[in-house]
Amino acid sequence: MSASIVAGGETRLQVLISRQQIAAAVERLAVEVRRDYRDVSPLLVGVLRGAFVFLADLVRALEMPLTLDFVRMASYGTGTETSGKPRIVHGLRSPVKGRHLLVVEDIVDTGLTTRFLLDYLGAKGAASVKLCALLSKPARRQVDVPIHYLGFTVPDRFVVGYGLDFAQQYRYLPDVCVLEGAGVP
């Protein structure tokens, strides 16, 4: 889809993935996750803040026993380039040892933050750690990250909407959009 939206000033938004495409992907991913976790009640780990919309839709579509917790990572600040030094700002409250974890992420970009989190959770004694990501941007990948459940692969463009932001703006958009102008690379 290629609808353009003027966001203000010189900022432009172009719809990359529509809300209908997102809904279909969430349903597809839920079928895959239900199949793989039919005999266990996984702990879904939502990565704040960007994954909260995707996680909410996924949880409703799963229709299965699960527990939920959140982790908040930092590596970007208000910019568009990663610092390359991820850190956990808010850790899990739930015990991890012996649990089957499904990390739910909005986007895997360089892979640095996601790889750090997966390694951290694995070191805490999880029985398994898998990754479900709405978006993957392989053109920017710096480290290998296994994505077990993937919604979409996107080009090397800055995307917002459906929970993803630019300086805390645009999370409310129901579609994933390319953001151009106003200091966006």
Active-site residue identified among 109, 119, 156, 175: 109
Question: Does the structure show a pLDDT above 50 at 2?
Answer: no
* Domains (range + CATH), the chain: 19-167 (3.40.50.2020)
pTM of the model: 0.88
The C-alpha atoms of residue 146 and residue 149 are separated, in whole angstroms, by 9
Question: Does the structure show a pLDDT above 70 at 52?
Answer: yes
- State the pLDDT at residue 5: 55
Please provide the average confidence, as pLDDT, over all residues in the chain: 90
Q: What percent of the chain has pLDDT over 70?
A: 88
Question: Exposed (0-12), middle (13-18) or buried (19+): which is 92, by Cβ within 10 Å?
Answer: middle
Strands 159-160 and 43-48 turn out to be unpaired
14-28 tens-digit pLDDT = 999 999 999 999 999
Max Cα distance, the chain (Å): 52
- State the pLDDT at residue 67: 96
55-109 tens-digit pLDDT = 999 999 999 999 999 999 887 554 455 556 787 888 889 999 999 999 999 999 9
156 flagged as catalytic = no
Residues 6 or more apart whose CB falls under 8 angstroms from that of 121 comprise 45, 96, 101, 103, 129
Name the β-bridge partners of 127: none
